[in-house]
Amino acid sequence: MVARHRRMMPPMEYIRLSDEAAGLDGVIAIHSTARGPAAGGCRLWTYDDPGAAMTDAFRLAEGMSYKNAMAGLPFGGGKAVLRRPPGAFDRRALFEAFGRAVEKLDGRYVTAEDVGTGVSDMECVARHTRHVAGRTALPGLAGGDPSPWTALGVFEAMKAAVEFRYSSGLAGLRVAVSGVGNVGAGLARLAHGAGARLVVADIDPLRCARLAEELGAEVVGIEAIAGVEAEVFAPCALGGALDEATVLALQARVVCGAANNQLASPDMADLLVERGIAYAPDYVVNAGGIINVAAEYLGESEGEVKGRVMEIGPRTRTILDAAGRDGLPPPVVADRMAEELMQRPEPALA
Ligand code: NAD
């Protein structure tokens, strides 16, 4: 069986962005506003042509609809994709022009950082619109670096998946983390605190060395990490980590990590099931960051962010249980749940 999920819906709306003087060339894609304003970050990347940027924006906006709905947020899905101007360019002018474009949508799209953009860019955007998050955090309120929240959500999901597969806690188990950047290192620390033994890999040897010293983590090469003897594999580097060779090499019976788009192709979900591996779907477990961004936009507190991030564990367990009961891969179950939530006009904030 090849698991199929995701009804490809065309985005409801897209807006071409163009301001030659400011170097702005891109698109805002709005996939869904059924649950609220379309929320999703702004990516600045090199694209050969406008069509490639648009395709990426549609795909990413769709992904945000699923992630936001699954996280119970009162937001739909959207994304901005900007083509990086060749050579040197005036960053401030570019993001101010982008801010003016966001403002024209009058709150139907809410932006934040993504690959290639940062807090200072969002501060430029904020000069022209209030429909932006990912800015400097104010005391007591949500905001700032989303990575610790993403790490906490993945950790809660990992505990739920381990309980599902091994009927145990993390203590004494081996957790293999591929990519120990902002989220991966935070996750490693949390797992260590729960008594797990760590094996880590990264293309940056310094990051591994730091965790070896701090947590007593074993360091292996990036090509070896998926195949090490471990109970849990956590992909926390780039997307597409779960290709056929990697899935066949896995010793772990739980896969739960922060990276987006972990399945190299949809049929990898079936291969994971065939191998008896409990795969916690990426967008379910890595929603802590967008939960923080959403709360910042809504002016909510850190306590509210924490409450919502702590729901990721039970949600992961519900999905794994349903997948086991219905004989379906967990990503298929997750997509169906998210699609149902997307139909609900009333957001289900818990
Ligand atoms: P990061 O850039 O801080 O860390 C990524 C790490 O992966 C780096 O240390 C890098 O050296 C390493 N790496 C790159 N290629 C590698 C490879 N082939 N093998 C092993 N390591 C490799 O990024 P991050 O913020 O920690 O995000 C990690 C992943 O989680 C990304 O896929 C990101 O899209 C996803 N994610 C992050 C957040 C967040 O809040 N930061 C939220 C949701 C999803």
Average of per-residue pLDDT across 327-350: 83
Q: How far is CA 306 from CA 77, 143, 152, 250, 299, in A?
A: 22, 12, 9, 32, 14
Q: Please report the pLDDT score of residue 138 as a whole number.
A: 87
How does residue 305 score in pLDDT terms, banded at 50, 70 and 90? very high
Q: How far is the CA of 100 from the centre of ligand 1 (A)?
A: 30
pLDDT at 2 over 50: no
Mutate to test the pocket of ligand 1, among 150, 220, 246 (most ligand atoms within 8 A of CB): 150
* Domain parsing of the chain, residue ranges: 13-125, 147-286+315-339
Q: How far is the CA of 137 from the centre of ligand 1 (A)?
A: 22
Q: How far is the CA of 290 from the centre of ligand 1 (A)?
A: 16
Q: pLDDT for 3-54, tens place per residue? A: 455 655 655 689 999 999 999 999 999 999 999 999 999 999 999 999 999 9
348 lines ligand 1 (CB under 6 A): no
Q: Please report the pLDDT score of residue 1 as a whole number.
A: 41
Q: pLDDT for 151-186, tens place per residue? A: 999 999 999 999 999 999 999 999 999 999 999 999
282 CA: nearest ligand 1 atom:
44
257 lines ligand 1 (CB under 6 A): no
Three-state SS at 68 = helix
Percent of the chain clearing pLDDT 70 (strictly above): 95
Q: Please report the pLDDT score of residue 76 as a whole number.
A: 95
Q: How far is the CA of 258 from the centre of ligand 1 (A)?
A: 8
pLDDT at 93 over 80: yes
Residue 123's identity, in one-letter code, is E
**Catalytic site residues?**
79
Q: What is the mean pLDDT of the chain?
A: 94
Residue nearest to atom 42 of ligand 1 (CA): 289
Q: How far is the CA of 164 from the centre of ligand 1 (A)?
A: 26
Q: Please report the pLDDT score of residue 238 as a whole number.
A: 87
How does residue 137 score in pLDDT terms, banded at 50, 70 and 90? confident
CATH code reported for the domain at 147-286+315-339: 3.40.50.720
207 lines ligand 1 (CB under 6 A): yes
Q: How far is the CA of 300 from the centre of ligand 1 (A)?
A: 27
224 lines ligand 1 (CB under 6 A): no
The β-bridge partners of 42 are 80, 113
Q: What is the DSSP letter of 136?
A: P
Q: Please report the pLDDT score of residue 82 as a whole number.
A: 98
176 lines ligand 1 (CB under 6 A): no
Residue nearest to atom 43 of ligand 1 (CA): 286
pLDDT at 345 over 80: no
- Half-sphere exposure (Cβ direction) of 291: Cα atoms closer than 13 Å: 31
Residue 127's identity, in one-letter code, is R
Q: Please report the pLDDT score of residue 8 as a whole number.
A: 55
41 lines ligand 1 (CB under 6 A): no
202 lines ligand 1 (CB under 6 A): yes
Three-state SS at 91 = helix
286 lines ligand 1 (CB under 6 A): yes
| CB of 290 closer than 8 Å to CB of 266 | no
| CB of 335 closer than 8 Å to CB of 9 | no
Q: Please report the pLDDT score of residue 350 as a whole number.
A: 43
179 lines ligand 1 (CB under 6 A): yes
pTM greater than 0.85? yes
Token pair 């090499």: residue: 249
User: Can 13-125 and 147-286+315-339 be said to share one CATH topology?
Assistant: yes
Q: pLDDT for 41-50, tens place per residue? A: 999 999 999 9
261 lines ligand 1 (CB under 6 A): no
Q: What's the fold here for domain 13-125?
A: Rossmann fold (3.40.50)
Mutate to test the pocket of ligand 1, among 158, 286, 296 (most ligand atoms within 8 A of CB): 286
Alpha-carbon span 311 to 334, nearest angstrom: 15
Distance of CA 296 to the CA centre of its chain: 17
Q: pLDDT for 224-258, tens place per residue? A: 999 999 999 999 998 899 999 999 999 999 999 99
184 CA: nearest ligand 1 atom:
26
Residue nearest to atom 39 of ligand 1 (CA): 147
The answer for residues whose C-beta is within 8 angstroms of residue 342's C-beta and 6 or more apart is 32, 34, 35, 65, 66, 69, 76
